[in-house]
């Protein structure tokens, strides 16, 4: 009885080692590729010293490849250190799964070839092509169980390779994408890649699958396909942010203009970022607009807070058949101010400098009167990212003066309104024969009076009216006689001496009526 137990023990022990050896001896398939020269399918595997000089079975499956019984022997090759590759006899562009085995060992984990095809692009670009191929599926630690394959699938990455046909150059990488994960082997699933903006030459494309295991990486290749694109119009689309304006102290309006030719793009995107001086721009899509024939676009950023700092804006024309065109980058300006003296306004504005802006650009300060911009200062430059200006006094009795800043790249600040007290000035003499234009006529110096209810009258010493005007003078334009007396009456020169004046005016429809009188000397 003792001998019987001992015999059974050694029988089971050696049976276990034999089964273990069979697993160790099983061949492992490494790659299934389409040779980039011969276009034939090639198989390669790792050297197994136990199988040297043994006949290796090449098994192939075309359907229901989740079941190893559907992998009949297709060809045979002798295992040799210099012969770890099998090449398909004929050029093959069908989709197959392969596995290998020798002797009575189990079949290896299956691998498939990739079949690459070219398809047209749905949006009709003539310089783009859609590359499609079946996924490359690589299982490790694989175990056949009935009609299923169970195991760990490695990460598969794809390199899209290209070269000019007949140029004699090696393939280059056009792009790379991550592969998909599949719970079952299905060679009819597809992977897509759109090759865009191609030149007008004949291309060759191929796909390289990268199998990344814990210890090694291997590469498998698809067949090669040809494609000759047609050239699309690749002239750049002019996209320009023409104006950035701060509205009502709380909104920012961005005006964009593009080329005025027929549909150069599909969609216009507006990007925005708010960052400090030392941070790179991280522009994110804020808004978009479909192509419009008038080529004029206006966006309102209601989420911005102009008082809180600087916002960067950029527009991009989204083109399907060429590289996207981007605009310049513009920012907002914020204007503040206060009364520092009875007859002076103090204007303060800032525009934070950063690596993304030209901090040496010049600015212009306006007064806005009746929707018209009247320039006060030109060529203002920022000092420590801001400017503080005492502006010349033009008072409007109880009315409002509106100020605005404009940059050289057409960015407009918010408008700043300051209430004023009334004031009017008159010279006490004038000399019509003066060499200086501003001294040749007599007129009131008054801040932007309304043309309604305006009256300016001059009387001689006998109370006779020698001049009347119902329109205020145009300041700065001395060639315009409106509202200015040149010292004549009915075409004749008036004698020198003392004269009296009276002016009646208002500032706007809400202003009361003001009246001033006085005297002056006409000098000859």
On whether both 370 and 505 belong to a single domain, the answer is no
What count of other Cβ atoms lies within 10 Å of the Cβ of residue 386? Answer: 14
- Asked whether the beta carbons of 444 and 427 are under 8 A apart, the reply is no
pLDDT of 5: 39
Q: How far apart are CA 425 and CA 447, in angstroms?
A: 10
In a domain, 12, yes or no: no
Q: How far apart are CA 438 and CA 425, in angstroms?
A: 14
For residue 400, the domain's CATH number is 2.60.40.10
Q: How far apart are CA 64 and CA 146, in angstroms?
A: 12
Q: What is the DSSP letter of 17?
A: H
Q: How far apart are CA 524 and CA 70, in angstroms?
A: 121
On whether both 366 and 326 belong to a single domain, the answer is no
Q: What is the pTM of this model?
A: 0.52
pLDDT of 47: 85
Range(s) of the domain holding residue 320 = 240-331
Q: How far apart are CA 148 and CA 67, in angstroms?
A: 6
pLDDT tens, the chain, 524 aa long:
444 433 433 334 333 333 334 444 678 888 999 988 888 999 998 888 888 888 999 999 988 887 888 899 999 999 888 788 999 887 777 889 999 998 888 888 888 999 999 987 776 778 889 999 988 887 655 556 554 555 555 568 899 999 999 888 999 999 998 875 444 556 567 888 989 888 889 999 999 998 776 556 788 999 999 999 887 766 677 899 998 998 888 889 999 998 766 667 778 999 998 866 556 677 888 899 988 878 889 999 998 888 877 888 999 988 777 778 888 888 888 887 665 555 555 666 666 555 556 556 778 887 776 666 767 777 677 665 566 666 554 444 445 667 788 888 788 888 877 766 556 788 999 999 998 888 899 999 876 677 788 999 999 999 999 999 999 887 777 888 999 999 999 989 999 999 999 999 887 666 678 889 999 999 98
Q: Which one of 285, 306, 331 terminates a domain?
A: 331
CA-nearest of 247, 243, 238, 232 to 268 is 238
On whether both 60 and 148 belong to a single domain, the answer is yes
In a domain, 200, yes or no: yes
On whether both 156 and 293 belong to a single domain, the answer is no
In a domain, 2, yes or no: no
CA-nearest of 68, 77, 124, 125 to 98 is 68
Token pair 């280059």 is found at 172
On whether both 262 and 275 belong to a single domain, the answer is yes
On whether both 277 and 325 belong to a single domain, the answer is yes
With H, G, I as helix, E, B as strand and everything else as coil, classify residue 381. Answer: coil
In a domain, 16, yes or no: no
Farthest CA pair distance, the chain: 160
On whether both 34 and 95 belong to a single domain, the answer is yes
In a domain, 450, yes or no: yes
pLDDT of 389: 64
The DSSP H or E segment spanning 20 is: helix 2-25
Count of structural domains within the chain: 4
In a domain, 464, yes or no: yes
Q: Which one of 419, 446, 469 terminates a domain?
A: 419
On whether both 69 and 199 belong to a single domain, the answer is yes
Query: Could you tell me the two tokens for 521?
Result: 């000397």
Three-state secondary structure along 102-164? ECCCCCCCCEECCCEEEECCCCCCCCCEEEEECCCCCEEEEEEECCEEEEEECEEEEEEEEEE
Phi-psi region of 398 (alpha: psi -120 to 50; beta: other; left: phi over 0): left
On whether both 41 and 182 belong to a single domain, the answer is yes
pLDDT of 10: 34
- DSSP strand pairing (296-301 vs 251-258): antiparallel
In a domain, 517, yes or no: yes
Please state the separation of Cα 253 from the chain's center in Å.
18
In residues, how long is the chain? 524
With H, G, I as helix, E, B as strand and everything else as coil, classify residue 70. Answer: helix
On whether both 56 and 114 belong to a single domain, the answer is yes
Q: How far apart are CA 64 and CA 99, in angstroms?
A: 14
CA 179 vs CA 65, 225, 288: distances in Å: 20, 20, 32
Q: Which one of 303, 331, 359 terminates a domain?
A: 331
Q: How far apart are CA 292 and CA 448, in angstroms?
A: 41
CA-nearest of 519, 453, 457, 513 to 485 is 457
Phi then psi for residue 41, to 5 deg, are -75, 135
Three-state secondary structure along 425-478? ECCCEECCCCCCHHHCCECCEECCCCCCCCEEEEECCCCCEEEEECCCCCCCCC
On whether both 152 and 208 belong to a single domain, the answer is yes
pLDDT of 229: 86
pLDDT of 324: 81
CA 298 vs CA 250, 255, 257, 406, 415: distances in Å: 16, 4, 9, 18, 19
CA-nearest of 149, 163, 262 to 204 is 163
Q: What is the DSSP letter of 180?
A: P
Query: Could you tell me the two tokens for 270?
Result: 């507006």
Three-state secondary structure along 326-345? ECCCEECCEEEEEEEECCEE
Q: How far apart are CA 484 and CA 440, in angstroms?
A: 9
On whether both 176 and 134 belong to a single domain, the answer is yes
């Amino acid at each position: 009885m003792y001998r019987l137990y001992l015999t059974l023990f050694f029988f089971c022990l050696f049976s276990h080692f034999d089964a273990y050896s069979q697993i160790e001896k099983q061949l492992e398939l490494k790659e299934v590729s389409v040779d980039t020269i011969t276009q034939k399918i090639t198989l390669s595997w790792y050297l197994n010293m136990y199988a040297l000089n043994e006949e290796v079975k090449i098994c192939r499956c075309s359907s229901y490849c989740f079941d190893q019984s559907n992998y009949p022997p297709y060809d045979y090759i002798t295992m040799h250190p210099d012969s770890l590759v099998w090449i398909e006899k004929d050029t093959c562009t069908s989709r197959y799964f392969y596995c290998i085995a020798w002797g009575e060992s189990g079949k290896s984990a299956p691998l498939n070839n990739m079949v690459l095809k070219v398809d047209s692009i749905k949006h009709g670009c003539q310089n783009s092509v859609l590359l499609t191929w079946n996924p490359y599926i690589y299982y490790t630690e694989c175990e056949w169980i009935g009609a299923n394959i169970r195991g760990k699938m490695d990460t598969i990455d794809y390199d899209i390779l290209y070269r000019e046909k007949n140029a004699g150059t090696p393939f280059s990488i056009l792009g790379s994408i991550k592969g998909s994960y599949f719970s079952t082997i299905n060679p009819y699933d597809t992977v897509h890649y759109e090759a865009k903006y191609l030149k007008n030459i004949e291309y060759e494309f191929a796909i390289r699958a990268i199998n990344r295991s814990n210890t090694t990486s291997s590469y498998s290749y698809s067949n090669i396909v040809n494609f000759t694109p047609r050239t699309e119009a690749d002239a750049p689309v002019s996209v320009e942010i023409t104006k950035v304006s701060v509205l009502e102290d709380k909104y920012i309006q961005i005006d964009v203009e593009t080329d005025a030719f027929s549909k150069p793009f599909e969609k216009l995107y507006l990007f925005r970022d708010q960052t400090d001086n030392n941070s790179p721009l991280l522009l994110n899509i804020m808004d978009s607009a479909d192509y419009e024939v008038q080529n004029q676009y206006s966006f309102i950023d209601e989420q911005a807070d102009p008082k809180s700092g600087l916002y960067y804006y950029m527009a991009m024309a989204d083109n399907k058949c060429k590289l996207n065109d981007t605009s310049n980058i513009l920012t907002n300006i914020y204007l503040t101010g206060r009364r520092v003296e009875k007859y002076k306004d103090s204007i303060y504005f800032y525009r934070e400098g950063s690596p993304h802006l030209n901090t040496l650009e010049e600015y212009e300060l306006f007064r806005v009167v009746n929707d018209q911009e009247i320039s006060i200062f030109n060529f203002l430059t920022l000092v420590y990212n801001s400017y503080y200006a005492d502006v010349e006094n033009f008072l409007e009795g109880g009315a409002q003066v509106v100020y605005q800043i404009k940059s050289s790249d057409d960015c407009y600040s918010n408008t700043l309104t300051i209430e004023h007290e009334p004031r009017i000035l008159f010279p006490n003499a004038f000399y019509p024969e003066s060499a200086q234009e501003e001294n040749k006529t007599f007129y009131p110096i008054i801040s932007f009076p309304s043309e309604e209810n305006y009256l300016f009258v001059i009387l001689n010493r006998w109370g006779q009216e020698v001049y009347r005007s119902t329109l205020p003078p145009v300041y700065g334009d001395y060639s315009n006689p409106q509202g200015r007396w040149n010292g004549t009456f009915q075409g004749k020169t008036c004698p020198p001496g003392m004269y009296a004046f009276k002016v009646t005016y208002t500032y706007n429809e809400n202003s009361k009526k003001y009246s001033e009188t006085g005297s002056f000397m006409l000098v000859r």
